[in-house]
Amino acid sequence: MSEPFFFAFSTAPTVGDIAELIGAEFDAALADRRIRGLAAIERAGPQDLVYYDNPRYADELARTRAGACILRGDARARIPDGVAALVVDHPYRAFARIAAHFVPESLRAAPIFAAGVSPRAHVHSEARLEPGVDVEPGAVVGAGAEIGSGTLVGANAIIGAGVRIGRGCVIGAGASLFYALLGDRVVVHPGVRIGQDGFGFALGARGHLKVPQMGRVIVQDDVEIGANTSIDRGASRDTIVGEGAKIDNLVQIGHNVVVGRHCVIVAQVGLAGSTELGDFVMVGGQTGVAGHLRIGAGARIAAQSGVMRDVPAGASVGGTPAQDLRQFLKGAARDRRAARAGKEKKS
């Protein structure tokens, strides 16, 4: 980084220190070189660490001025002379480990204004906070709420009555949580809405009758929820987000949805009510999934898909309506060829 104002290295490790942390092969002659920051490969200077994990950036790798680069063995010959090569099997994961180790504050959804409970926060007398909870100015914690040690409640966040939040969590500024139970190490980014009414109405010719939403939202351990995402509480059963799931910004999760363990849901996805995702499902950005469907474990859904039927475990689908991804791509290629042929005939 050219100006590491917000996120600076906590120490100045050597190349040897970094190699030991990530288990990398390297040239021992460069072991004592000091690294003082992380940078993009094209902007790095001689005291910066970078990583290379995508052939699109081969030209940038060949020109980099970095002090050290994490990369795979087959790319080692491409780096300029004098750059310390740190060879690993998975460069991106290794880079993430380095960043987390030497810039730990970057893992928080927001910086802490001040430790402890701010006098400008409103914490109900019947709320229960373990030692080590930070509550920032303007935050509200309702009656009977429980918050575990090491958790940060950001400025102007609202924790509703009876909500339970585990240990080591981060609740970002302006988030609101109602009718929800959160596990440990959950990260809720600013503006997230959890536990509001699901969209439930009994339709009728003379008007639509609102159906009471009497479930909860259960968020298990190590979940991360991106900014301005909404997760509705269940109607007759709970909405559940499984352990380790990673949810991007601006995602809508409807009532009674079950998201399996370690799913990845990218920005602007909409999951309609009562849909169930198995473990390790990946859903590309701007995808819409109809209600009451089952997406099998390990399935992958391409960006901008419209899913209207169940998806088998391990399948890859794309398009609207979603179909086998290979068939979808073949069809798109046929359409492009037909369009070109039509233009050539007209000309």
CA distances from 164 to 59, 89, 129, 142 (A): 50, 40, 10, 11
Residues (pLDDT < 50) of the chain are 1
Task: Establish whether 90 is a catalytic residue.
Answer: no
pLDDT at residue 336, rounded to an integer: 82
CA distances from 24 to 37, 80, 83, 275, 292 (A): 18, 19, 15, 43, 47
Give me the count of residues in the chain. 347
pLDDT at residue 335, rounded to an integer: 76
310 SS3 class: coil
**CA pair distance 332, 329, nearest whole angstrom:** 5
pLDDT at residue 142, rounded to an integer: 98
> Residue 46 is which amino acid?
P
Q: Which one of the listed residues 189, 208, 255, 292 is annotated catalytic?
A: 255
Residue 336 has φ and ψ, to the nearest 5°, of: -65, -40
Residue 288 has φ and ψ, to the nearest 5°, of: -115, 130
**CA pair distance 238, 312, nearest whole angstrom:** 24
